[in-house]
Structure 1
């Protein structure tokens, strides 16, 4: 009976088992802090910095999905936000907590699958995702959108940073159907402006663009292989 599909949740779990990298994959990924992964830097995304500089974002309650080693969560905290930062990997959160202590800021780091979060409706002013969405399989996309909608207050902001389709950092150029034929996300799905606009059509679009390339090391992070997008809940 264990592998019998009774309902929609059983179907999602079965598809997850075919595609999702296990938690130990991400723990191993973050265990070597010296490898040359661009976003291992300790600087916030250039688009995020810009949202504050342009007064789009103000201090409030923030949910970050897939926070990794905490660089953006720490920036939110430095800006006076109450931040809940979620990740599956204990190794990434250990690193993030060390960084937060070094910066003397308070961040509530949560080890959890984002689809198992217990969120009260309309809790957050901002939902931020830098690098989580392109690892979300197509069958979980509706759950992801519903999570963001539930989390946000009316007129709350949702910002995302993800792989450009065919970009130098990744961004598989495959269709949603091909994901299941291959039983693989090919390291992360790639997106175009048009595809993001279509997927998040239930939100008000504020900006979709390529991330600015910024030579590292720097106080802000930016690479051209990523797309950035900012939406607002109706």
Structure 2
């Protein structure tokens, strides 16, 4: 199970995605697309850096992660930053949230961690279920256009993303970028902003 892998990696301290600050792609998208403060869900929040940034910018944030260790770190970081965020452990693929609906959902490397199109479709359906009408989802996804000679996040093609999020979401923008990182050659990423479709 994906969730178990992440739990083990947090136990071992093997968390290269934890960069100790919010991802610049989140900041850039929220500011340039003028996403207004609202009720937000951070899926796979890790140690909470992105949730904290959203909270500092007046979003009402709930962060969830499969790892209890990650949630504990997120609570500590939020206390240090003196911001009000709600964090709790949750397996998003199987447990829908009673706190829904949200206006904005964010995930940095959660959607892409599922290898099968079927699981990614379930993930997308769960995001759609968690959002209000016309709610937005911003996903940072490993980019399959990158040739790698070192380990990195799972990589997905643009076609795989489209196939997984249809029919639940309309893609507003799909931009090639890179993940926020603490190393000179950060892995490439897709920055995908989507709007929930109104399914009859």
Asked if Structure 1 and Structure 2 have the same fold, meaning a TM-score greater than 0.5 normalized by the shorter chain, the answer is yes
For normalisation by structure 2, the TM-score amounts to 0.82
> Among residues 65, 82, 85, which one is paired with 1:104 in the alignment?
82
The structure-2 alpha-carbon separation of the partners of 1:78 and 1:142, relative to structure 1 and needing over 3 Å to count, comes to same
Task: Could you tell me which runs of 5 or more consecutive residues in structure 1 were left unpaired when the two chains were aligned.
Answer: 1-19, 172-187
Determine the C-alpha separation between the residues in 1 that align with 2:61 and 2:100.
Answer: 15
Q: Secondary structure at the match of 2:104?
A: strand
Determine the C-alpha separation between the residues in 2 that align with 1:86 and 1:214.
Answer: 20
For normalisation by structure 1, the TM-score amounts to 0.72
CA drift at 1:122: 6.3
Does the Cα contact within 8 Å between 1:208 and 1:227 map onto a contact in 2? yes
In the alignment, which residue of structure 1 is the partner of 2:19? 41
In the alignment, which residue of structure 2 is the partner of 1:143? 122
Task: Could you tell me which runs of 5 or more consecutive residues in structure 2 were left unpaired when the two chains were aligned.
Answer: none
Cα deviation code 1:156-180 (max 9, x no counterpart): 1011112122644657xxxxxxxxx
Q: Which has the higher helix share?
A: 1
Aligned residues: 192
In the alignment, which residue of structure 2 is the partner of 1:179? none
In the alignment, which residue of structure 1 is the partner of 2:170? 204
| Structure 1 vs Structure 2 CA RMSD | 2.7
In the alignment, which residue of structure 2 is the partner of 1:72? 50
CA drift at 1:55: 4.2
In the alignment, which residue of structure 2 is the partner of 1:10? none
Does the Cα contact within 8 Å between 2:96 and 2:130 map onto a contact in 1? no
Q: Secondary structure at the match of 2:93?
A: helix
Q: Which has the higher strand share?
A: 2
In the alignment, which residue of structure 2 is the partner of 1:113? 91
Q: Secondary structure at the match of 1:208?
A: strand
